[in-house]
Amino acid sequence: MSVPAGAGADRVPPGWAVTTVLASLAMIGPFTIDTVFPGFQAIGEDLGGDTAALQQVTSVYLLTFAVMSVLHGPLSDALGRKPVMLGGIAGYVVASVACALAPTLGWLLVGRAVQGLFAGAATIVSRAVIRDLYAGAAAQRLMSQVMMIFAIAPAIAPVIGGWLLLAGPWRGIFWFVGLYGVVVAVVTARALPETLPPAQRQPLRVGALLSGLWVVARSWSFERLALATAFIFSAYIFYVLAAPIVVVELLGLGEQDFWILFVPMIGGMVLGSWVSGRAAGRVDAEVLVDRAVLLVLLATAVNVALVLVAPRPPWVVVGPALIGVGIGVVFPVLQLALLDLFPHHRGAAASMSAFSVLICNALVAGVVAPLVTTSLLSAALTSTGFAAAGALLWGWHRGATRPAAPA
């Protein structure tokens, strides 16, 4: 996975200011999912709806996020990164207000769908910004640093959601995420430069936008790598998306107790992201992915074993935490590898990569989690299945792209 020089390399000096802005943009997507989890019961009592219906509050958001993600990247290739991100955040804020004012569950789902349409602009395009700015080991280090901060979102979001529920009704959660969007938009407008010069942009025509997507989508190398990324990540995100069932129904804990699952998981991802950043430029990218994928597989095996012998906290969260370590190592490397396949269509590559992951997420949230999360063992086995599928796809990609041995 060679990394060509970035067109925007060294345009902005590295530092925690840029890292924090990019991480704040990336956090909008997951923050919008997890802050709402503690409010499910209150939403059900206020608007009506059983567990399956309330799970759609997450899945409808993920579905529209995934569908629109296909366009955010190509639009940023044509219009520039900042206009697309800021326009998306503006739409996200309006949708958050609509959710806060929703009179029925149906209208709440409509608001969540609109949230999903716009939230991806910041989350997806910020990845292309990283690759615009830096190349090689510098890009991997920045992506890892962003992941370290980004990973905190699923841990603190449900805690914040729980605090907001103690202070007032569930609608306060949506007022809060709308305010978060306003703050991120202001900081982005002031602190982050445009990273795609006009001379490097693609034409703003439907044909040109679709052509960029087609160039990416028809690449077998991209498809293998994107699916490997999606399935490996699903081994981890399954627990995040099934958290209302795992924490409340299977573990018998309360709405204030999501941290028991999320803090170890996020701690693992932060540790893995730190390792990935330290390994940048020292360990070959493909070797690093090999080791991280093996770690994820071993972690899922440990997870199954612990569920069988000690199905209570703290032991039941050790496996998901170890999975998080492997994901933290592998995800920044795979994201950069996908972007580097198409240096002239990085926005389109970011969109198609996100689309693959998000479609898996939507299916996990709306179909897999409600159907299979009937016990801690079934949850652990499902996570193992995702990891195994991702490992097989990564092995296929490695074999297909390895240079032929000389005769």
In this structure, what are the phi and psi dihedrals at residue 219, rounded to the nearest 5 degrees?
Answer: -80, 115
- The per-residue DSSP string of 181-217 comes to HHHHHHHHHHH----S-GGGPPP-SHHHHHHHHHHHH
Identify whether the C-beta of residue 237 lies closer than 8 Å to the C-beta of residue 327: no
pLDDT of residue 2: 41
Residue labelled with tokens 């077998």: 220
pLDDT of residue 19: 83
As a whole number of angstroms, the distance between CA 183 and CA 196 comes to 23
pLDDT of residue 403: 56
As a whole number of angstroms, the distance between CA 53 and CA 287 comes to 43
Which CATH number describes the domain made up of 16-401? 1.20.1250.20
pLDDT of residue 14: 53
Alpha helices in 48-135 (DSSP H): 51-79, 81-100, 105-133
pLDDT of residue 298: 97
As a whole number of angstroms, the distance between CA 121 and CA 65 comes to 9
Domain map of the chain by residue range? 16-401
Residue 60, Cα to own-chain centre: how many angstroms? Answer: 16
C-alpha radius of gyration, the chain, whole number: 20
In this structure, what are the phi and psi dihedrals at residue 169, rounded to the nearest 5 degrees?
Answer: -70, 170
Dihedral over Cα of 28, 34, 38, 43: its sign:
positive
* Closest to 35 measured CA to CA, from 152, 114, 147: 152
First CA to last CA distance, the chain: 24
pLDDT of residue 210: 79
pLDDT of residue 105: 92
Low-confidence ranges of the chain (pLDDT < 70): 1-15, 402-407
